[in-house]
Structure 1
Amino acid sequence: MDITRRMMLQTMAAMPLAGGLPVLTRADISMGTAMLTTVSDGHLVLPASFIFDPMPKDELGQILADYGISSEKLEPECNLTLYRDGDHTVLFDAGAGPDFAPTAGSVLDSLDAAGVSAADITHVVFTHAHPDHIWGVLDDFDELVFPDATYMMGRAEWDFWWNPETVNTIGEARAAHAVGAKRRMTAIEDRVRLFDDDQEILPGIAAVSTPGHTPGHMAFEIRQGNSAVLVVGDAIGNHHVAFRRPAWHSGSDQDAETAATTRQVLFDRLTHEDLTLIGFHLPGGGIGRAEKAGDGFRFVGAA
């Protein structure tokens, strides 16, 4: 099952308004002379079947009960990573912008809370080109939100969404994603730099190919001195079934088999190297670690 904006709005309409104020930023991670912060773009409201449809229902039910997760709707956070080293102010992904979901698109407020303006952003680095990651490059007037930034995307991801045949082959439910991605990519075409797997795209930041969620999805290893963090985007999309059963296919992934293989490789690396990870849709701002737990893993948040 594929998510559409209409489905998201229908699910929203059935929900009461959440209480309390959102947490706009999370604690900084000091990396030598550099600093990492996660900034909130809000959250999504999704039918749970979007992820859970392909999964074995009996075992899934127990996992959801263990985590207190609804079998009807999900409300994943949207956490963008902000990196500052004195020379570069880098935002990983651009958020959903004003046109995708009423509960998302608030990254500018979060940046302001972190003391950063849109004009301060020197680079926007994309993990992939799904709506909640790229639609935020344009505002209500189709102007660039980050006017002075250089935009960076993996070559395979760019080529996939830029291909005029993608909208015809991606499936009806995701066709709007393709149209929306192409529109934003056209707006940044003259400012984009493409890169490949294992390439150091900026000092201390290396691209790590993590395909499956989309064909060219990228994670990023940020390393300064003895500190290292892996920004995984949507390659690890939640803190429950993705950790407990990384080999299970998820309805959110464009190539479920490849995505499952990618998750297992990432977990092996994260636990072997004891790396901090930042996940776009993980809770508590998305910062934490993966720990081995039985025949799966568990997410240990930094907070």
Structure 2
Amino acid sequence: MQRWDRIEAFVEVVRLGTFVAAARELSVSPSHVSRLVAQLEQQLGTALLYRTTRQIHLTDAGTLYYRQCRQLFDGFREAEAAIGDLQERPQGRLALTSATTFGERYIAPLVNDFQLAHPQLEVRMHFSNRRVDIIDEGFDVAIRMGRLEDSSLVARRLCERREYVVGAPAYFAHISQPHALAELSHHRCLIGSRDHWRFAVEGVRREVRVQGRWRANSGPALLDAALKGLGLAQLPDYYVEEHLASGALISVLDAYRHADAAVWAVFPRHRQRSPKLHLFLEHLVSRLPSSLPRPQQDGAPQGAVSPGSEAGLT
């Protein structure tokens, strides 16, 4: 059994990126994890990792060994899920990833409620605006925004989401409101995680590259800049609707608002029959706030979609 402990330590170090994170996941000390990996390398007679002061890298042998061992541990998790199927109750770990602000504001409270109802579950939440490979990084489900392309993943539409181009009255006191997309070139645009904004022109999706002297990869920072009159911003509804209602922000170019900004749950095809995932998705659909409109139709996962197509800064 010692070898399995060593293999598990190695897999978690690679999956999470550091010995400290792996130790936290395994509820042991970092020195114990380091010792287990060193013992595994000694058993195999080859180095698996290059260690530096700040990060680790896989050797060629380590890459091959991780790929094979990861499949074994995924198989173990699927076996646990099969037991859960027999018991008709969620079992094991529920690991999900979501864009940061949306995840913190909407998803985390719903996950916490779900665990209260199913305390036997182990929950892992990861919030990041980077593109996450949910299969390689061991997630059961990802919450994604916007248009989804074809891939091997399955998607379920959770709710609608709208994006607005907004500016403060103080900003429009010095420049007239734009009424056509071409007029954006005359405006100071506040740039988030992408430098192109998405619109619909006569039902056809169009992306317009924007320019400005302000940039940040933070939704709250982008909102604050817009409220203070620094320029125009394109932001999702859950950032701006309160400020639109109060008059602190003004929405422009509404005729060009694109319609493919829904919120989706995407997951590997082999998770489709998991009672744990099915119950969790039903929980999300039934409890998402009314400020995010419920989907018109509720049903089975809808087609194959991309693992990496979040729409803008969320």
Short-chain TM bin: under 0.3
Higher helix share: 2
TM-score (norm 1): 0.23
Which protein is bigger by CA-based radius of gyration?
Answer: 2
Scaled by the length of structure 2, the TM-score of the pair is 0.22
Greater share of strand: 1
